[in-house]
Amino acid sequence: MSVADCYAMVLEKAGGPLVLCRRALPRPGAGQVLIEVSACGVCRTDLHLLDSELPDIAYPIVPGHQIVGRVREAGAGVDPGLLGQRIGVPWLGWTCGACEYCGEGRENLCDNARFTGYQLDGGYATHCLADARFVFALPEGYDDLAAAPLLCAGLIGYRSLHLCGDARRIGFYGFGAAAHVIAQVAVWQGREVYAYSKPGDADAQDFARSLGASWAGGSDETAPVPLDAAIIFAAAGELVPAALRAVKKGGAVICGGIHMSDIPAFPYSILWGERRLQSVTNLTRADACEFLALAPQVPVRTQVRSFPLFEANEALAALRAGELSGAAVLTVGSG
Ligand SMILES: [Zn+2]
Ligand SMILES: [Zn+2]
């Protein structure tokens, strides 16, 4: 590899697989930084990208939106103090600052937002670009591998938890990367966690209990108490009526994923009682600052399984097969 080249795992067409490509090193434009990637988390959203379950995918695209790396070059107008700094890049890659949502401080709903690893080349690569306004210092005490899952599993999970308000007993449907991070936060906040795995997945249930869950069982089981709220991290629409049945009057069901299979018809009576059903969409930079400051206080401990960058397809397959406890993270270089 010449100094002016980099490598990326590229999604060239619907369905993949990702292809290792050698590319010219991108150069940062005004307001951008060039990042030497050391680790990049693997997210279920990357599977939705691969499976064309997201609209308007800009092929070829480099997935990856939980990027940890160091700033190697700064474009015009960027604080030169960022050079050499370790930073994290999340899903929210750019917002317009001009639409009604941006004006209301709800940039997660920006009409013109662009997302890392979806419309902007992401971190399944040795190098990537990012808008300097959308990168974050990472808490010390987390090495690059351990920090990566904080950037989506953590951030989207935290936003989901926040939408549960002051709920004390919270059900988690799908105990993967996001739940394993946010269960720790919930327990630390004095809440009770009720973890639902795929039916019969004893490993996931043991994992949930090891992180402080008060109860763990299959999604076909009933928790021993009515819940104040539930967060659905799994992409299975049939969990929505199940979760509505598990929460008590006034409770909330929060859908944490970007895509879900169709929700089956259900009787109004399970929504009645002022139960609330809400999705979580993207994140704001304020979410990122808040959660990245909170994580080391808990302290959140991420469990990761690392794969070299060129084994991104294998990492995605392991995620799809439900073989992971915690999060998969791609490692690049010495990261
Ligand atoms: Zn906007
Ligand atoms: Zn994600």
| CATH code for residues 164-279 | 3.40.50.720
pLDDT of residue 335: 44
| 147 alpha carbon – ligand 2 mean position (Å) | 14
| 174 alpha carbon – ligand 2 mean position (Å) | 14
Give domain limits for the chain.
5-148+301-331, 164-279
Determine which helix (DSSP H) or strand (DSSP E) holds 172, and give its type and residue range. Answer: strand 169-173
| 101 alpha carbon – ligand 2 mean position (Å) | 21
| 315 alpha carbon – ligand 2 mean position (Å) | 14
pLDDT of residue 327: 97
pLDDT of residue 334: 54
> Token pair of 308, please?
């070299």
| 304 alpha carbon – ligand 2 mean position (Å) | 15
pLDDT of residue 58: 87
pLDDT of residue 3: 64
* CATH superfamily for domain 5-148+301-331: Medium-chain alcohol dehydrogenases, catalytic domain (3.90.180.10)
- Identify the segments of the chain with pLDDT beneath 70: 1-3, 334-335
Q: What single string gives the DSSP state of each residue in 130-170?
A: EEGGG-EE--TT--HHHHGGGGTHHHHHHHHHHTTTT-SEE
HEC profile for 204-240? HHHHHHHCCCCEEEECCCCCCCCEEEEEECCCCCCHH
